[in-house]
Amino acid sequence: MANYTAADIKALREATGAGMMDVKKALDEAEGDATKATDILRVKGLKGVTKREGRSASNGLVAAHVDGNVGTLVEINCETDFVAKGEKFGELADRVLAHTVAIGAADAETLLSSDLDGQTVKEVLDEANATIGEKIEIRRVARLEGDQVVSYLHKTSPDLPAQIGVLVTTTGGDEQTARDIAMHVAAFSPTVLTRDDVDAETVANERRIAEETAREEGKPEQALPKIIEGRVNGYFKENVLVDQAFAKDPKKSVAQVAQEAGAEITSFARFKVGV
């Protein structure tokens, strides 16, 4: 006969984030001792970490923190949206973000190898992996500095944590304009800040595709240069932040909006979970 109650099951689930059946089996094995059951869950969970290595962690959340002129963005992944919206995963994300800010980490490798309360962050994630029963990983980290830094987090579903996170740094201008630009970045997913940031190989490839497409369409030879330049400019307007049509006023480019506000965009970062 079981020597534990439904309340014991609930308490252990909340404490570990483990599934109900796993909790019940652990309590059975531990004869109702919650401490022993917790250890059993950890041991069994850690044995399964390696098995979960190859699984896809395409859910999760993006967390952001701005302190003065420094902004930090972290993407933390798990396997299912059920775990992503759970309290334990949220607490883990808060802990990881606070640590990332504290040590000034600017990349995932540095963060994972850093010490957090006597363990590496990687070991902390493995323990969470064990108790929650899903692959959990830190995919990306960004740290930006600027005269003015704003963050924006966007939920793609009301019952999930933020799936898109943005940092934008500017000089001059006001905070509201910078925030509007951050919201624009979230919606229109630019890949680079300026045309100079597009590598030459990409530009050459876009030019080649534009020429081949125009020839395939039977465009006249004398019109090709103008057509090619038009299509390459189209690529820039789709991918370059300052060239994009501004979300709130498509008649203006993002660069025009910033300039009118007396601002200059100096950098940005955008993470979307699983992308």
Q: Residue 19 — pLDDT band, cuts 50, 70, 90?
A: low
- 3-state SS class at 218: coil
> In this predicted structure, what is the pLDDT of residue 56?
61
Mean pLDDT, rounded, of the chain: 90
Percent above pLDDT 70 for the chain:
92
Q: Tens of pLDDT along 130-141?
A: 777 788 999 999
pLDDT of residue 147: 96
- 42 with 131: CB under 8 angstroms? yes
Give the separation between CA 100 and CA 74, rounded to whole angstroms: 8
Contact 145, 104 (CB under 8 A): no
Structure tokens at 35: 């401490």
Give the model confidence (pLDDT) of 223-243 as tens digits: 999 999 999 999 999 999 999
Alpha-carbon distances of 12 from 15, 100, 127, 149, rounded to whole Å? 5, 29, 16, 41
**What's the average model confidence in pLDDT over 70-97?**
94
Q: How far apart are CA 230 and CA 99, in angstroms?
A: 47
Q: How far apart are CA 70 and CA 142, in angstroms?
A: 10
Please tell me the pTM assigned to this model.
Answer: 0.79
Mean pLDDT of 155-184: 96
Write down all domains in the chain, each with its CATH number in brackets: 6-47 (1.10.8.10), 59-192+262-272 (3.30.479.20)
- For residue 111, the model assigns a pLDDT of 97
Burial 137-164 (b: 16+ CB within 10 A, else e): bbbbbbbbebebbbbbbbeeeeebbbbb
Instruction: Flag whether pLDDT at 22 surpasses 80.
Output: no
pLDDT at 53: 53
Q: What is the pLDDT of residues 254-274, one digit of tens each?
A: 999 999 999 999 999 999 998
Pairwise pLDDT comparison (50 vs 187), residue with the higher score: 187
Q: How confident is the model at residue 74 (pLDDT cuts 50, 70, 90)?
A: very high
* Predicted confidence (pLDDT) per residue in 105-118, tens digit: 999 999 999 999 99
